[in-house]
């Protein structure tokens, strides 16, 4: 029996109990994981810094984000209304709610060794849903993965969590018949491979893959005239943050008559010091991407192995689909448009993205409602007068988007909706009250918010 098979069988066995834990007990476990990570925090941060060179301040912030995320999901399941309970007393009595899928495979990311890896949002949301988790560690930070996995294993029941390593083990995990869903953060090639493996199974399973984005930034004309220098400063900081190794890195800027803006941005990019990237393969892929762009468009600023700024016309951009590909690193492409219709055509031609940003002067966005309508079909998050990097851990956050940004544009990996990925709706028809879960009982003993039909009214009935 392989390590993957042992982990999958143990997770399936654990699901028989863990999948039906009440919200209070799951909340306690999630809070215990957060506390254990904090107790081990100094060791985790030291090892993570050795493996990634991300720096102590960044890693401290990431650990805090990771623990806050765990506690956010703890609060969600303790309150309980997330199950989306619906009660219909029509011709027949039908009651429905969300239930967990079963064991979930989570693939750790390279660029966030904590927040999107072993103890990250995919793990937190799957555990909150009631699903045991098997994490495939990322090879960029194996010791960090082991240490954080140990912290989790020390506080959860047997079989609820496991860590595996290796490419072949990851493939075997997705193929395993006891695994019911997959979460992945990484490249489009990696995400597509997992999607294809999962679809080829005798029982296909959902893959929730976040696969990258160029996160376009649209600078409207009045905003550029009024705040061009300010936007250039903010954009430079966003592009080069973390050596550009963020899935929300703004890799495309669309503006009109932007010569002064480009010069200001080019000066800042050219003065950006080099820093090590996460892995040699990421650094090599970045150099290849920069060289590819340089053969098609103008290179306005370049630091060997570091920041790069490219410029081109909207006509050239629209003629070269390869310019819409992600270059994972501290680079961006400024596309200059001639008129409104060309701006809208650039937006129409974009692939699915995690984010789009619009910089607008006061009242200017009202004149570009057509642009906003297009972007609503293209992205998961629209940022106004800000920058896409820095995904707030908040209940309403959406960190997802239409394919190929993600494999399922209806999902998010950040925010409390992330829990829904690992659930499915189940209905009870004409069931006696004693047979119903507490969330659907007539007296509503948990006091959760429920949708009552007919009328489609949200109502809370407290047990008295």
Confidence grade of residue 461 (pLDDT, cut at 50, 70, 90): very low
- 368: closest CA among 390, 337, 410, 399? 337
Domain edges within the chain: 3-211+408-423, 216-384
Residues 19-76 pLDDT 10s = 999 999 999 999 999 999 999 999 999 999 999 999 999 999 999 999 999 999 999 9
Catalytic residue among 131, 247, 326, 336: 247
Q: Determine whether 263 is an active site residue.
A: no
pLDDT at 460 over 80: no
- CATH 3.40.50.970 for domain 216-384, yes or no, is no
pLDDT band at 457 (very low <50, low <70, confident <90, very high): low
Q: What does the pLDDT look like over 89-125, one tens digit per residue?
A: 988 999 999 999 999 999 999 999 999 999 999 999 9
210 is catalytic: yes
| pLDDT band with cut points at 50, 70 and 90 for residue 305 | confident
First to last CA, the chain: 53
Q: What is the DSSP string of 263-287?
A: HHHHHHHHTPPP---S-HHHHHHHH
Q: What pLDDT does residue 8 have?
A: 98
Pick left, alpha or beta for residue 449 (phi over 0 → left; psi -120 to 50 → alpha; otherwise beta): beta
Q: What is the pLDDT of residue 453?
A: 81
Q: Quick one: pLDDT at residue 390?
A: 87
What integer pLDDT is reported at residue 385 of this predicted model? 98
Q: Which of 446, 397, 435, 402 is nearest to 419 (CA)?
A: 397
In the DSSP assignment, the letter for residue 62 is H
- pLDDT tens per residue across span 120-141: 999 999 999 999 999 999 999 9
Tokens describing residue 225? 């005239």
Mean pLDDT of the chain: 96
Enumerate residues 6+ apart whose C-beta is below 8 A from 15: 100, 102, 103, 130, 131, 132
C-alpha 410/C-alpha 414 separation (Å) is 13
Fold observed for domain 3-211+408-423: Aldehyde Dehydrogenase; Chain A, domain 1 (3.40.605)
Mean pLDDT over 235-253 rounds to: 96
Q: Which of 172, 210, 326, 336 is catalytic?
A: 210
């Amino acid at each position: 029996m392989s390590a993957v098979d042992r982990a999958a069988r143990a997770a399936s066995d654990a699901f028989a109990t863990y999948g039906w834990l009440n919200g209070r007990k799951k909340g306690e476990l999630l809070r215990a994981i957060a506390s254990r990570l904090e107790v081990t925090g100094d060791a985790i941060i030291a090892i993570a810094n050795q493996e990634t060179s991300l720096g102590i301040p960044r890693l401290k912030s990431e650990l805090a984000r990771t623990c806050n995320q765990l506690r956010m999901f703890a609060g969600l399941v303790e309150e309980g209304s997330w199950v989306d309970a619906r009660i219909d007393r029509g011709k027949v009595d039908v009651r429905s709610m969300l239930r967990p899928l079963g064991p979930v495979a989570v693939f750790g990311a390279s660029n966030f060794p904590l927040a999107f890896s072993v103890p990250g949002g995919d793990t937190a949301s799957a555990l909150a849903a009631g699903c045991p988790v098997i994490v495939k560690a990322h090879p960029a930070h194996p010791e960090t993965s082991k240490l954080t996995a140990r912290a989790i294993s020390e506080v959860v029941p047997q079989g609820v969590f496991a860590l595996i390593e290796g490419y072949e083990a990851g493939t075997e995990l997705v193929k395993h018949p006891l695994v019911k869903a997959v979460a992945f953060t990484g490249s489009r090639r990696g995400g597509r491979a997992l999607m294809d493996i999962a679809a080829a199974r005798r029982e296909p399973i959902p893959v929730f893959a976040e696969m990258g984005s160029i996160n376009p930034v649209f600078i409207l004309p009045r905003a550029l005239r009024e705040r061009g220098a300010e936007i250039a400063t903010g954009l430079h900081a966003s592009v080069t943050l973390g050596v550009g190794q963020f899935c929300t890195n703004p890799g495309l800027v669309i503006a009109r008559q932007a010569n002064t803006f480009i010069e200001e941005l080019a000066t800042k990019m050219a003065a950006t010091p080099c820093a090590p990237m996460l892995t040699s393969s990421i650094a090599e892929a970045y150099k290849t991407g920069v060289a590819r762009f340089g053969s098609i468009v103008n290179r306005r600023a370049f630091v060997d192995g570091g920041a790069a700024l490219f410029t081109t016309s909207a006509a050239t951009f629209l003629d070269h689909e390869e310019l819409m590909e992600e270059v994972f690193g501290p680079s961006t492409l400024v596309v200059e448009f001639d008129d409104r219709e060309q701006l809208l055509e650039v937006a129409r031609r974009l692939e699915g993205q995690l984010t789009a940003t619009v910089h607008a002067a006061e009242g200017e966005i009202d004149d570009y409602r057509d642009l906003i309508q297009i972007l609503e079909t293209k992205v998961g998050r629209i940022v106004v007068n800000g920058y896409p990097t820095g995904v707030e851990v908040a209940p309403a956050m959406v960190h997802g988007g239409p394919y190929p940004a993600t494999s399922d544009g209806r999902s998010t990996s950040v925010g409390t909706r992330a829990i829904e990925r690992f659930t499915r709706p189940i209905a009870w028809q004409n069931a006696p009250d004693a047979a119903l879960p507490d969330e659907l009982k007539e007296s509503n003993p948990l006091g959760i918010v429920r949708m009552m039909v007919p009328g489609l009214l949200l109502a809370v009935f407290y047990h008295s």
